A and B are shown apart, each in its own frame.
Chain A
Amino acid sequence: MTDQSVTFTLNGQQREAAADPRMHLGDFLRHSLGLTGTHIGCEHGVCGACTVIVDGSPVRSCLMLAVQIDGGTVETVESLGKPGDLSPLQKAFSANHGLQCGFCTPGMLMTLEAFLRTTPAPTEEDVRVAISGNICRCTGYQGIVQAALDTASAKANRT
Chain B
Amino acid sequence: MTERLRFYQTGSFAVRNRLLPVVDASVQSDPGRANAITSGHRACQGCGEALGARYALDAAMRASGGRMVAVNATGCLEVFSTPYPETSWQIPWMHSLFGNAAAVASGVAAALRVTGRDDVRVVAQAGDGGTVDIGLGPLSGMFERNDDVLFICYDNEAYMNTGVQRSGATPPAARTMTTPAVGPHPGAPFGQGKDLPRIAMAHEIPYVATATVADLRDLEDKVTTAMSIRGARYLHVLVPCPLGWGSASRDTVRVARLATESGLFPVFEAHDGEVTSVTPIRRRVPVEDYLRIQKRYAHLFGEPPATGVIAHIQATADRNIRRYRIEEAPV
Q: Do A and B bind each other?
A: no
